[in-house]
Amino acid sequence: MPRKRKPARLFQRKDDGAWVILDGGQQIRTGFGDGFHKEAEEVLSDYIARKRRQDDHVYEPGEITVGEVLVHYGEAKMKTVRDKDRLLYTIQALSPYWGDLKVSEIDIDRCRGYTAWRKCAAWTVRREMTTLNAAVKYALATRRISYAPIVTLPEKGGANDRWLTEEEVQRLLGASAPHVQRFIKIALYTGRRKTAITRLKWMPSLDSGWVDLDTGVIHFLGKAEAETKKRKGLVRMPATLHEEMKTWVQEGSHVVSFKNTSIHRIDKAFRAAVERAELKDVTPHTLKHTVVTWAFKRGMTLEDATAYFATSRETLENVYRSYSPDALKKAAGIMDWKI
């Protein structure tokens, strides 16, 4: 996403002393020189007012590009969104296909075409298209466009059923760099998402989670952070993880770090480890699928899983509970009549 440019402002040229208005890469002469700063300011005020009226123009969808709408949405969301890197990555992924098209060109065929062009997991395409849909609706809500075309999202598809065996986990750990090993172990013992783990610090923090080695509790939420629908919560560390974390060298402020530097995105290093381990269809989120599946296979109750993994009961029931040996056991007993 392009850097947000500075607002229009006055500047006095050194060569002839003229006051000009700097706006992006433009220099607009005010008609006034040295000794006429007040008059130049009046010209600047008129220029800003005129430009504001232009900015308030409501565009027809055929008059504005999808790229402009994405930038408009991104600049607004960057002020409030927690995972700024993900938003930026998503807009960058959408831009090559959509950026130069007019908003009016968004239709079902273009949307289906993006799915074919993107050539990646269906859930990734759906997430990106959801961002496009949000950007178009935001443009309508802020009166940037007169009406919003329909963004057709790909089907959700079935839940991802890929989880790792213990042998695959050992292969992955053996193929991973030290900081990736830390990430994997925390994920497999807590079932938290990658951003919650990579943001963990050794000391209490207002804006990030932290590890309390004294009590054996990991706080995945900063003291000043509010919970979102993707809950983080806290978790009591299993004894094995707690004892191992006590032996980890505390390099830098973050638990997962590379050369004393915090890790903003671990995807590239994780993907390299997956390739070295010769595994297929494994992403950081596969670790969450793995640990929750293991937990249910070993008899964890739905109530405990909801609290421990900070995951909704509905998701656990729909995606994971079938792995429990006790799932529907009582119902099956009731239905065991002789015919």
| Domain spans of the chain, in order of start | 9-56, 62-141, 166-323
CA distance 291 to 143: 46
Question: What are the structure tokens assigned to 9, written together?
Answer: 């402002």
Question: What are the structure tokens assigned to 11, written together?
Answer: 């500047």
Which comes out higher in pLDDT, residue 169 or 260?
A: 169
Residue 2: its pLDDT value, please?
Answer: 46
Question: What are the structure tokens assigned to 164, written together?
Answer: 């790792």
Question: What is the dihedral sign for C-alpha 174, 180, 182, 185?
Answer: negative
Residue 330: its pLDDT value, please?
Answer: 65
Contacts of 151 (CB under 8 A, 6+ apart): 106, 111, 129, 132, 133, 136
CATH superfamily of 166-323: Intergrase catalytic core (1.10.443.10)
Residue 270 CA, chain-centre distance (Å), reads 17
Taking only the tens place, the pLDDT of each residue in 178-221 is 999 999 999 999 999 888 899 999 999 888 899 999 999 999 88
Say if residues 255 and 200 touch (Cβ distance below 8 Å): yes
Contacts of 245 (CB under 8 A, 6+ apart): 211, 213, 237, 255
Using pLDDT thresholds of 50, 70 and 90, give the confidence band for residue 167.
Answer: very high
Mean pLDDT of the chain: 85
Tokens 């000043």 correspond to 224
Residue 129 CA, chain-centre distance (Å), reads 14
